Amino acid sequence: MTFKSNEFKHVNYLWDDKAASQLDAVERLRYRSNILGADQLITNTGGGNTSSKIKMIDPLSGEEVDVLWVKGSGGDLRTSTRANFASLYMDKFLSLEHIYNKAEIKGVKTEIEDSMVDMYRHTTFGLNPAASSIDTPLHGLIPFRHVDHMHPVSAIAIAASKDQEDLTQEIFGDEVGWVPWQRPGFDLGLVMQEKIKQNPKLKGLIMGQHGLINWADDDKACYELTLTLIEKAAHYIEGFDRGDKTFGGQKYHSPDESTRRQILIQLLPKLRGMVSQQNRSIGTVHMTESVLQFVNSVEAPRLAELGTSCPDHFLRTKIKPLYVDWNPQGESFDTLIEKLEKGLAAYRVDYMSYYEACKHPNSPAMRDPNPTVILIPGVGLIAWGKTKSESRVTAEFYSLAIEVMRSSEAISKYQGLPRQEAFDIEYWLLEEAKLKRMPPEKEFARNVVVVIGAGSGIGKATAHRVAKEGAHVVCADVSEESARATAQELIDIHGVGIGIAGTGLSGCGPAIGLGVDIACRESVQALFEEIIFAYGGIDNVIVTAGIFVSPDKNGRIPDDKWSLTYAINVIGAFIVADEARKIWQAQKLSGSLVLTTSVNAAVAKQGSLAYDTSKAAANHLVRELAIELSPLVRVNGLAPATVVEGSSMFPRDRVVSSLIKYNVSFEESESTEALREKLATFYAQRTLTKSPVTLADQAEVAYLLSSNKFSKTTGQIIGVDGGLQEAFLR
Ligand SMILES: [Zn+2]
């Protein structure tokens, strides 16, 4: 049977024979995985796995052996490369059944089951370092060449319904069987193997509260079977769509988009502070039509309480979301805040009692009891995670869970995973071991760092520096284009992460580029509103933007240029601090502000009167702000000596006028870069260290002053000038 892409309405048929024919067997598996993962209706980000049993030459014996290639632990089907697949000798893998069966106590959640995961490493083919996942036995024990295990909304909807077994029979007849919920592991593989033994004609199984698994001896056939089964389920569900009656109908309606945005701008920093008591989180706002229909519905409170079903979903969404019963039509913003505070307090207590009731003697310690998903009528869904990528995944998962509930409630009655089962996944020792293996968090993990002036020079170097420390970086600059360019560089280096969710700018990656004119309060306000919408708040602000107006030929600076210099170098820096203060205070989380001043603030000289006095004012602004913003925010100044390298503040005319001022000889015909180097060398000779000051030197100190490494330092100006005696502060 061959399929055409238009034969499917609920999934995207993406198989291309020509593309597949050019690939080796392992690459065909990678290809199949990527096109399955590319469709959210087929599986969620990071969810599901695929495998192929491939004949290969054994490097030890030179003989042909069967090798199980199976999507390994971590990663994501959509973006998987060959490196994400583990490879196991089939005969060695199958021999593990022996070891398992020999154990006195065996079965789901027994010690022997967990210890099998470590055994897979002994069966590795070809020195492949990819770690096998807990789902490996599902693939290895099913006696067919190709296996797809997916988490499609339509299949989970059946699997999360009260009468899931009957529904499976009704929708798929005899071609698909059903197994009740069981935590994935070796035992579940054996259960599936037994099912197939009893009925060799089975093509797949609905896995209770979990998803779908199906198989074939040909890879394309396996892919097409996956799509056909999902399509069949979705088609069946579609026939029961409840239209306006979905989720019991609408109780509230959403205000228009701009009102909703205003609510969110006010709300997000406060909310971020509330959920970040133990660990800072990054937010993602998700407000599609479908999400709004859910949060505004009559049955949202009941359904939210049931939690999500697919184990994959709820590992990120937690056992359940926090639903706040706020009436967007009749109640005030203050009431919303009150209800959130109460709701969060109750949620934490509830989470603690869930932990206490379900924990085992060897369970890991309780984790952060704050919700990761918050549902607000009229507003939408707000997800929180340790990174933007994580919070996008969380928003994606809950929005998929909403679709699962919509479908399940249409055909039956939705049920979540039982509490104990949920706990045994959330606090699974294997998951804990995975968490423990993760590298320690970086200095700026969970932080949003705003760099103003990030389009070039010190700002750009600083954006790169803080991104290296795990920061989410807002690159702002008077030139939006150059701000975006810097943000793109950061994304290219650090990756955009996984997870497909987030409305508008809230769907962004770990860096964004925005335009701002700091001399204009409205522009700064607009900047921070965008940032709040993108990430939920801010932690550190670094201002490197500044202006230097060269004097005219007579050495004079016109009055309007004086104003401009002060408007940017002093008042602009203040406006940034003043607007950021509102967010810091709403969050009630500590933060830091670094202003870039200059050694010129301390060294009196000729020809740069406006600039130098503005920087002297900026030095004192640092001290005044340190007092004004305490105790929440530390404020420090970075005082660079002129960095000529790559600086937008050193256009040719400034370089030339400096060279004239210092009597350094040059030719008009020399390139700007050559003149810059002359000037840098001249400057270096005046310093105690005799070496030119670089952008990297400045960025390092901007980073350090912002970071907790300087947590006890505020109101200080640190010179990065190679050692300029005249600039010593006293
Ligand atoms: Zn699964």
pLDDT in tens, 452-499: 999 999 999 999 999 999 999 999 999 999 999 999 999 999 999 988
From ligand 1's centre to the CA of 183, what distance in Å? 9
What global pTM score does this model have?
A: 0.94
Q: What is the pLDDT of residue 646?
A: 67
Residues 149, 153, 154, 155, CA torsion sign: positive
* Beta-carbon contacts of residue 335 (< 8 Å; ≥ 6 apart): 326
Residues 6+ apart with CB under 8 A from 376: 295, 324, 326, 336, 382
153 CA distance to ligand 1 middle (Å): 12
The pLDDT assigned to 310 comes to 79
- At residue 644, the pLDDT reads 79
Separation of alpha carbons 132 and 144, rounded Å: 19
Q: How far is CA 385 from the centre of its chain?
A: 7
185 alpha carbon to ligand 1 midpoint, in Å?
11
Going by the DSSP 8-state scheme, the letter that residue 249 receives in this structure is S
Peptide bond into 631 cis (omega under 30): yes
Looking at residue 438, its pLDDT comes to 86
- C-beta atoms surrounding 627 within 10 Å: 10
Tokens 């870069």, located at residue: 673
Q: How far is the CA of 494 from the centre of ligand 1 (A)?
A: 28
Determine the pLDDT at residue 452.
98
Give the pLDDT score at 663: 92
pLDDT of residue 140: 97
Q: Give CA–CA dist 522/478, Å, rounded.
A: 14
User: Does residue 611 carry a catalytic annotation?
Assistant: yes
> Which residue stretches of 469-606 are H helix?
480-494, 521-535, 559-566, 573-587
Average pLDDT along the chain: 95
Please pick, among 13, 354, 566, 611, the residue that the annotation labels catalytic.
Answer: 611
**Distance from Cα 294 to the centre of ligand 1, integer Å:** 25
CA-based torsion, 160, 166, 168, 171: positive or negative: negative
- Give the distance, in angstroms, between the CA of residue 253 and the centroid of all CA atoms in the same chain: 30
Q: Which regions in the chain score pLDDT beneath 50?
A: none
What single DSSP character describes residue 141?
S
Distance 150 CA to ligand 1 centre (A): 6
What is the whole-number distance in angstroms between the Cα of residue 18 and the centre of ligand 1? 30
Alpha carbon of 184 to ligand 1 centroid (Å): 8
Q: In sequence order, which residues have a C-beta less than 8 Å from that of residue 708 and are 6 or more positions away?
A: 443
Predicted local distance difference test score (pLDDT) of residue 5: 66
